[in-house]
Structure 1
Amino acid sequence: MTACAIETTTDGGGAVRPARLTITANGAYAARLTGTGDALYAERWTLDGPEPYAVPLPLDQPEEAHAQLLPLADGRVLIGRRVDGLRHTFSLLYPTGPGTGQLPLGAVEAAELTLLPPSPDGICGYAMCVGADTTTIWLVAGGAFGPEQVAEVKGRCTGGVWLDRTGRMLALDRCLDGGPVKAVAVDLERGGEVTPLLQITAESDDRLLLADPDSGLLLIGSDAPSPGHERLGWGVLGSLLPIRFPDCLRLDDVAVTPFAVQPGQVLLPETCSVALRIDAAGGSWVGMWQPAGRRTHQLAAPAGWLAGAGVWTQEGVLRLPYATQDTPCGLAGLTVPPEPVAVEVTIAPPEQRVCRPVPLQQAPLADRKAAG
């Protein structure tokens, strides 16, 4: 399964807004902060059993609203808390008998700190600290001796997308010296070695929103087609083909954010189904789209959908978590409606799988007619 744990929509200051529910990379567990009023506590969801169920993880004191949660593949939940403004502490929460166990992991001193999406290995937890002109990546869970700095990247970074299934290659959206935003790949096993990943034009803001390691499909946000207005496009990791910006992904008066990609489509990016969160003044609903198609299907979300969270099965079922008064922990399944039109474009798979990111530098914009 493939899941997206962080919305890529940003607020006015460019900070990434965390989703209400964070799901592990394998789709087995999820975690959220819940409760009534100020009485907040962590809650873990189990999603891979016959029926989903939730386990509350309260402690003696309620959690602050800005606490960050990250589920691990063993069922424990990493929690990050801000203490005294510049200090961030980390602990692992787990159910133990009738109560909640807590294992302190240490602390990081930083003005700004964001937990990154769950690592594909399911074991490690990473955090990103943004400074005045540098960004550091910390291993805050899964290390041997507490929090450990594993990378330092020049510039201010946002986002955070894993490019492989080992948790080695991480894509960040970097602003360097006040210039445009460009996605870069960071190798966490080589001391944070940085490789350019997206550069559609020299002046455009090019961000990576989602990536699927199986197919190589990339979902991209860029203002290259319309300066000053971000468009949603797609490309293929390691391909020299241009980035495409389909008109069917450009919907009027709504915000469109991809949040999950169908896994298991090895070397077939055009067949991957992509789940979209569609936000308007009246609420949020679900979109489904495939690169090979010419339209975006818009579907009603289940009542109580934890908007921005969901996982695909390899068989093409989108599982959406929801919580209502009658069903405090539920999963609804949606499938892609049949495509009534002919295939938009066919892309031949590459002859050889490229394991490391190949920069999509100076990729020309696709012809509008070909892109749909």
Structure 2
Amino acid sequence: MTVCAIETAAEDDDRDADRDGDARRPTEFTITANGAYAARLAGTGNALYAERWTLDGPEPYAVPLPLAQPEEPGTQLLPLADGRVLAARRVDGRRNTFSLLYPTGPATGELQLGAVEAPGSERLRLLPPAPDGIRAYAMCVGPDTTTLWLVAGGAFGPERVAEVKGRCTGGVWLDHAGRMLALDRRLDDGPVKAVAVDLERGGEVTPLLQITEESDDRLLLADPDSGLLLIRSDAPSPGHDRLGWGVLGSLLPVRFPDCLRLDDAAVTPFAVQPGQVLMPESCAVALRIDAAAGSWVGTWQPSSRRMGQLAAPAGWLAGSGLWTPGGLLRLPYATAGAPCGLAGLEPPPEPSPDPVVTVEEPRVCRPVPLQQAPLTDRGPTR
């Protein structure tokens, strides 16, 4: 559905995180993997509170989850499949506390889960919702090592599950079991490369994506049904990121279609159509387009030579949304008159193909580690 050149290591990581943006970590509006619930910080000024949305009923509705004290702007929220909302808060500059919020009649219940210590030089971020909707993970990035924590769904509070050498950003689930996690890793001062982390093998790391040795190659989204991967890399044009696509385990090179490059706007994928088993070319992809005039929506399929562009609904919570298996794009929005809305958009019909317009093939090496995808071949622990 739908979160690290160098003056210091921390500044380097911050720029990577900022550039990757909404698709790389939980945004202000986060949707469960099954599309049933979402959560965001609502309210204004110093009166912020958690809000849970229910999305799988006849009409969407929101439930406020306020506590005695308002939430800080930096509170991270993650919805679970049972309707509870995980809140992660930073306390005293180093402790990160976790609790589950849920409605209890007119009040809000809160179950404390524990805390994780992270010194001021380290940052802890919630990873995108796990596929099972029960567990929740966080990533703590230090100067040389990234630690993965299971912060909800375990037996005894937060549990350290893996340590990965290097500074990592991103976080994309590669399977429905919540076992294989892709991270974008930088070792020392080298380029960023997507790697896969096996959470059931002690955090075993295997290469996932390398287009050239020098390029920054990040994984933005993955669809476990079809194997479609959405990639951002500067391999085709060093110093300039391009959007591309590939297929997990494929021998074919990553492609960088010209239609996904806009000269005056940033394009970021945020949702992939599910249910297209073994048909990556047929998957619809939703894209957030940001320009000086505002934000709107793009739709595209790997089999297409064009990107459709649609006006977003007023109050769209930009960068969030989900596809139905049938190809309807649902976008959440909130306005003064409609504080909880879900708009359905039909992508424009694909025009007749123009034989003189072709998808640009990358002028780079084949992505060797891509055909060694960790779901079929595991290398040694790194």
Which TM-score applies when normalising by structure 2? Answer: 0.88
The separation in 1 between residues aligned to 2:73 and 2:175, in whole angstroms, is 32
The separation in 2 between residues aligned to 1:334 and 1:324, in whole angstroms, is 18
SS at match of 1:315: coil
The separation in 2 between residues aligned to 1:338 and 1:355, in whole angstroms, is 36
How far 1:336 moved relative to its partner?
A: 1.7
- Indicate which of 13, 16, 21 corresponds to 1:14: 16
How far 1:358 moved relative to its partner?
A: 5.8
1:356 counterpart residue number: 375
1:201 counterpart residue number: 212
How far 1:13 moved relative to its partner?
A: 2.2
The separation in 2 between residues aligned to 1:254 and 1:311, in whole angstroms, is 22
SS at match of 2:33: coil
| Paired residues of 1:79 and 1:93 also in contact (CA < 8 A) | yes
The separation in 1 between residues aligned to 2:347 and 2:48, in whole angstroms, is 36
Alignment of 1:217-232 (within 5 A): 217-232=228-243
The one-character-per-residue Cα deviations of 1:133-186 (angstroms, maximum 9, x if unpaired) are 000100000000000000100000000000001110000000012100000000
1:42 counterpart residue number: 50
SS at match of 2:42: strand
| Paired residues of 1:239 and 1:358 also in contact (CA < 8 A) | no
The separation in 1 between residues aligned to 2:306 and 2:27, in whole angstroms, is 26
- Indicate which of 23, 32, 36 corresponds to 1:24: 32
SS at match of 2:15: coil
Q: Is 1:284 aligned with 2:295?
A: yes
Change beyond 3 A, Cα 1:12–1:176? closer
SS at match of 1:15: helix
| Paired residues of 1:238 and 1:358 also in contact (CA < 8 A) | no
The one-character-per-residue Cα deviations of 1:345-365 (angstroms, maximum 9, x if unpaired) are 8xxxxxxxx880669xxxxxx
The separation in 1 between residues aligned to 2:38 and 2:58, in whole angstroms, is 16
1:367 counterpart residue number: none
The separation in 2 between residues aligned to 1:82 and 1:14, in whole angstroms, is 21
The one-letter code of the counterpart of 1:356 is L
How far 1:282 moved relative to its partner?
A: 1.4
User: More deviation in 327-336 or 74-83?
Assistant: 327-336
**Cα RMSD between the aligned structures?**
1.6
The one-character-per-residue Cα deviations of 1:287-319 (angstroms, maximum 9, x if unpaired) are 000000000101100000000000000000000
The one-character-per-residue Cα deviations of 1:82-132 (angstroms, maximum 9, x if unpaired) are 000011000000000100000000000113100000000000010000011
The one-character-per-residue Cα deviations of 1:212-237 (angstroms, maximum 9, x if unpaired) are 00000000000000000000000000
| Paired residues of 1:237 and 1:358 also in contact (CA < 8 A) | no
1:153 counterpart residue number: 164
How far 1:71 moved relative to its partner?
A: 0.1
The one-letter code of the counterpart of 2:16 is G
1:233 counterpart residue number: 244
| Paired residues of 1:237 and 1:357 also in contact (CA < 8 A) | no
Q: Is 1:329 aligned with 2:340?
A: yes
Q: How many residues align?
A: 345
The separation in 2 between residues aligned to 1:226 and 1:358, in whole angstroms, is 30
Change beyond 3 A, Cα 1:327–1:83? same
| Paired residues of 1:197 and 1:358 also in contact (CA < 8 A) | no
2:365 counterpart residue number: none
The separation in 2 between residues aligned to 1:27 and 1:187, in whole angstroms, is 25
| Paired residues of 1:216 and 1:237 also in contact (CA < 8 A) | yes
| Paired residues of 1:29 and 1:44 also in contact (CA < 8 A) | yes
The separation in 1 between residues aligned to 2:214 and 2:297, in whole angstroms, is 32
The separation in 2 between residues aligned to 1:212 and 1:254, in whole angstroms, is 25
- Indicate which of 248, 254, 268 corresponds to 1:243: 254
| Structure showing the higher helix proportion among its residues | 2
The separation in 2 between residues aligned to 1:203 and 1:22, in whole angstroms, is 33
The one-letter code of the counterpart of 2:303 is A
The one-character-per-residue Cα deviations of 1:7-58 (angstroms, maximum 9, x if unpaired) are xxx9962225442200000000000001021100000000000000000000
The one-letter code of the counterpart of 2:17 is A
| Paired residues of 2:267 and 2:287 also in contact (CA < 8 A) | yes
| Structure showing the higher strand proportion among its residues | 1
How far 1:252 moved relative to its partner?
A: 1.2
1:75 counterpart residue number: 83
The share of aligned pairs that are identical, in percent, is 79
Change beyond 3 A, Cα 1:223–1:358? farther
Alignment of 1:293-308 (within 5 A): 293-308=304-319
The separation in 1 between residues aligned to 2:221 and 2:377, in whole angstroms, is 16
The one-letter code of the counterpart of 1:270 is E
The separation in 2 between residues aligned to 1:216 and 1:268, in whole angstroms, is 8
Q: Is 1:90 aligned with 2:98?
A: yes
The one-character-per-residue Cα deviations of 1:177-202 (angstroms, maximum 9, x if unpaired) are 21000000000000000010000000
